[in-house]
Structure 1
Amino acid sequence: MQLRTKITSIFIVLTSLFLTGIFILIYYNSKKYTESEFYLRLSQRATIAAQAYLEADELNIDIYDDIRIRHLQTLPNEKEIIYPVDGERKVPLVNLDVSLPMSFYEEIFSQEYAELKLGDYYYTGLLYHDNEGDFIVVLSATDLYGFGKLDNLRNTLIIAFFISIIFILILGGYYARQALSPIAKIINDVNSIRAENLSQRLNITNGKDELGQLAKTFNNMLDRLQISFDLQSNFINNASHELRNPLTAILGQTEIALSKARSKEEYHSILKNIDLEASRLDFLVNGLLKLAQTDFDSKGVLIEPIRVDEMILSIKENIDVAIPNNKIEINFEDLPENEDAITLMGSESLLNVSLRNILENACKFSENKKVSVKVFSNIDYISITIKDEGIGIPEDELKNIFEPFFRASNVRGIKGFGFGLPLAYRIIKIHSGEIRFVTQIDKGTLVKISLPNRNTYNT
């Protein structure tokens, strides 16, 4: 079922229920008012009848007949009955009409007035006190005019109900179509977007209503998709280029070696070049594999408790072997006594790779100047700051530093592939952490890393 049809149907059902309730209430109140009015007429006529018939003066009967004929319209099937009763014992002195229930007469004795409806007949009874004694006056009639009015009202309400439903069906369908037309336009625009025109966006006429918010959200999603496509395209191009260079060098050296017989020294030189390019290729492939591994988020990653201070000391020992002349200084003065506050849950091997890449970059791009590492924590997070005195990163290029193969314009002459920071960024994100860079050209870079500790992980 289409949304337009569903909205129209629900609107018609709700309106039908509302109209049905209103019309029933109107009919019920009209019926009660008609009956109440007719009972009032009956009681008035019963009082007049009692006064006329029970007075000793014969003139009263003539007056009553004159009033009824001239001024009071005779009611359909009108009938009057007067019963003398024993006022003290409250019992009738003659046989009562057995077609009426005794509860009717009992109510007359107790309340001195009673009303009753049997079939199409209305009855009123009253206890009339006279100097000759007490009498029960029962007057009955049918309200043909009231029945006709109620029938006419019922038929009018039924016709009005169906006319209203037809009108609401037409009007509701029209407005539902008008209300949903922007959604239909969004659907058509979305269906027209393909990979080749991913830059196309939905037109937002009113950004404050729900449809405007929907279009804005979809445009934001398209922005992210376009960025992802561009990154993927750049990644493939850069990866192909970086992989082709060492392969071309290896093939070229091999071709040179096979072109003619050469001396032992020449073969040794060629093999050395091949080994260098193969090592470069191996480093590149391993970097790609690690980068791919982080795309699977934390699936399959061994989660274990890690003491951050011990991990940093282990990384420092490894860097001392790889870069003997590094000047990394570690500050643990602000570490808390609580062990859980400096323990996090994660993959030690991945975090080791992440922090080592950042520290090696700090040493490499500062030409082994002083690199300060400081660790501190609060109740929920462990913070690591790494500050170097290197060449810094251009401010307008900071937004690209986490893209694979991207290298800042001022480090093109320094050896590297552009894997370190993207890999470190993804690993930290896997561990629900954050990484930020504060940098100045030729003055250095400050890296701020925040990771949830064991307390946060357990909650």
Structure 2
Amino acid sequence: MQLRTKITSVFIVLTSLFLTGIFILVYYISKEYTESEFYLRLSQRATIAAQAYLEADELNIDIYDDIRIRHLQTLPNETEVIYPVDAALKKPLVELDNTLPESFFRKIFTKEYAELKQGEYYYTGLLYHDNEGDFIVVLSARDLYGVGKLDNLRNTLIIAFFVSIVFIFILGRYYAKQALSPISKIINEVNSIRADNLSFRLETTNGRDELTDMSRTFNNMLDRLQISFDLQSNFINNASHELRNPLTAILGQTEIALNKERSAANYHAILKNIDLEASRLDFLVNGLLKLAKTDFDSKGLVIDVIRADELVLDIKKNLDMSIPFNQIILDFEDLPENEEAITLLGSESLLNVALSNILENACKFSKNSKVILKILSDADHIMFTVTDEGVGIPEDELKNIYEPFFRASNVRGIEGFGFGLPLAYRVIKMHSGEIRVLSQIDKGTIVKIKLPNKNTYNS
């Protein structure tokens, strides 16, 4: 079922229920008022009848008939019956009409007035006190005029109901179409989007309605998709280029070696060049594998309990072997006494790779100048701050530092592939952490890492 039809159907059902309730209420109130008015007329005629028949000294029969004919219209099938009774004993002196229920006469004795409807007839009874005794006056009639009015009202309401439903159906379908037309437009625009036109965006207005929010949300999704496609495309292009260079060098050196007989020294030099390019290729492939590994769902990680200070000491030990002349200084002065505050949950191998890459970059781009690694903590987080005195990163290029293979314009002459920071960024995000980089040209760089500690997971 189309959404337009569903909305129209629901609107018609709800409106039908509402109109039915309103019309029933109108009919019921009208019926109550009509019956109440007719009972009032009956009681007035019963009073006049009692006065005419029982107070002959004040009002005779001829005068009563004259009043009824002149001032009170004769009611259809009107009859009056007067019964002498003993009001004190609540007992009739003659036999009462046995077609009427006992409760009707009992109510007359109790409240001196009663009303009753049997079939099409309305009955009014009253207890009349006269100097000659007590009497019950029962007057009955049919309310043909009132019934006719109610029948006419009922028919009018039924016709009005069905006319309203038809009108509401037409109007509801029209407005449902108008209300959903922006959605139809959005659907058509979205269906036209392909991989080759991801730059296309849906039209948005300054309004705050749900359709505008949906268009903006979809545009934001397109922005993320376009960025992902661009990054993927750049990654493939850069990876292909970086892989091609050492492979071309290895193939070229191999071709030279096989071209003709050479001396042992020449073979040694060629093999040395091949070994250098193979090592470069091995480093590049390992970097790509590590980068790809961070794309897996964190559910696949082996979670370890890690102390931040021990992790840093282990990294420093490894870097002392790989970069013997490094000047990395570990600042543990502000470490808390509670070891829970510096304990975190995560993949020790990945966090080791992330922090190692950041420290290696700090050493490399500062030419082994002083690098300070400081650890801080609060109730829920552990903070690592790496400060160097290197070449810095141009301000307008900071936004690109997390893209694989990106290298700042002022470090193109320094060996590297642009894996370190993107890899560290992904590892930290996998651990629900944050990373910020502050840098100034020729003044150095500060990298701030914030990771949740063990207390965060326990709370």
Q: Same fold (TM over 0.5)?
A: yes
**Does 207-216 or 103-112 show the bigger shift?**
207-216
Q: Which residue of 1 aligns with 2:128?
A: 128
Question: What is the correspondence of 1:159-170 to structure 2 with a 5 Å cutoff?
Answer: 159-170=159-170
Distance 2:57 2:363 in 1: 133
3-state secondary structure, aligned to 2:417 = coil
**3-state SS of the aligned residue for 2:407?**
coil
Which residues of 2 match residues 439-458 of structure 1 at below 5 A? 439-458=439-458
TM-score by length of 1: 0.99
Output the CA distance in 2 between the equivalents of 1:342 and 1:59.
Answer: 111
Give how far 1:312 is off. Answer: 0.4
Give aligned pairs, total: 459
Aligned to 2:411: 411
Aligned to 1:55: 55
Question: Once the two structures are superposed, what CA deviation does each residue of 1:133-181 show, in whole Å capped at 9, x if it has no partner?
Answer: 0000000000000000000000000000011111110001101110110
Within 2, Cα distance between the matches of 1:337 and 1:309?
12
State the Cα distance separating 1:72 from its structure 2 match.
1.2
* 1:267 positional shift: 1.0
**CA distance in structure 1 between the aligned counterparts of 2:329 and 2:297, rounded to whole angstroms:** 32
Q: 155-164 or 62-71: which moved more?
A: 62-71
1-structure distance, mates of 2:382, 2:409: 32
Q: How does 1:339-418 map to 2 (within 5 A)?
A: 339-418=339-418
| 3-state secondary structure, aligned to 1:382 | strand
Q: Is the 8 A contact 1:366 1:388 kept in 2?
A: yes
Q: Work out whether residues 84 and 134 of structure 2, in 8 Å CA contact, stay in contact via their aligned partners in 1.
A: yes
Cα distance in 2 for partners of 1:258, 1:108 equals 132
Q: Displacement, 1:58?
A: 8.8
Deviation, 1:458, is 2.1
Q: Structure 1, residues 175-232: CA drift from partner, whole Å, max 9, x if none?
A: 1110110010000000011111111110113442111111011111101111111100
Please name the residue that 1:436 is paired with: 436
Distance 1:346 1:59, change over 3 A: closer
| Structure 1 residue 97, shift from structure 2 partner | 0.3
Asked if structure 2 preserves the Cα contact closer than 8 Å seen for 1:207 and 1:216, the reply is no
Contact 1:43–1:124 (CA<8 Å) still a contact in 2? Answer: yes
Compared with structure 1, are the counterparts of its residues 203 and 59 closer, same or farther at alpha carbon in structure 2 (3 Å cutoff)? closer
- Contact 2:128-2:134 within 8 A present in 1 as well: yes
Q: Distance in 2 between matches of 1:38 and 1:139?
A: 12
Measured against aligned partners, the alpha-carbon deviations of 1:117-144 in whole angstroms (never above 9, x if no partner) come to: 0010000000000000000000000000
Deviations 1:62-82 (A, max 9, x none): 000111122211100101100
**Is the deviation greater in 2-11 or in 40-49?**
2-11
Which amino acid in 1 is paired with 2:124?
T
Partner of 2:190: 190
**Aligned residue in 2 for 1:307:** 307
Contact 2:87 2:109 in 1 (8 A): no
**Corresponding residue of 1:112:** 112
The CA deviation string for residues 420-440 of structure 1, in whole angstroms up to 9 with x for no partner, is 000000000100000001110
Contact 1:387–1:444 (CA<8 Å) still a contact in 2? yes
Check the 8 A contact 1:124/1:140 in 2, yes or no.
Answer: yes
Please report how far the alpha carbon of residue 92 of structure 1 lies from its aligned counterpart in structure 2 after TM superposition.
0.6
Instruction: Give the fraction of aligned pairs with identical amino acids, expressed as a percent.
Output: 80
* Contact kept? 2:51, 2:59, Cα under 8 Å: no
**CA distance in structure 2 between the partners assigned to 1:271 and 1:282 by the alignment:** 16
Name the CA distance, whole Å, in 2 between partners of 1:235 and 1:442: 29
Find runs of 4+ consecutive structure 1 residues off by over 4 angstroms.
Answer: none
Tell me if structure 2 keeps the 8 A contact 1:186–1:202. yes
Amino acid corresponding to residue 455 of structure 2 in structure 1: N
- Structural mapping, 1:56-455, within 5 Å: 56-57=56-57, 60-455=60-455
**Aligned amino acid, residue 119 of structure 1:** G
CA offsets per residue over residues 240-292 of structure 1, 9 Å max, x none? 00000011011001111111111111111111111111111111111000000
Matches of 2:277 and 2:141, distance apart in 1: 118
Cα deviation, residue 59, structure 1: 5.6
Counterpart for residue 16 of structure 2:
16
Instruction: List runs of 5+ in structure 1 lacking aligned partners.
Output: none
AA in 1 matched with 2:335: L
1:299 CA drift (Å): 2.9
Instruction: Confirm whether residue 5 of structure 1 aligns to residue 5 of structure 2.
Output: yes
With normalisation by structure 2, the TM-score equals 0.99
Pairwise CA distance, 1:60: 1.4
Q: Secondary structure at the match of 1:335?
A: coil
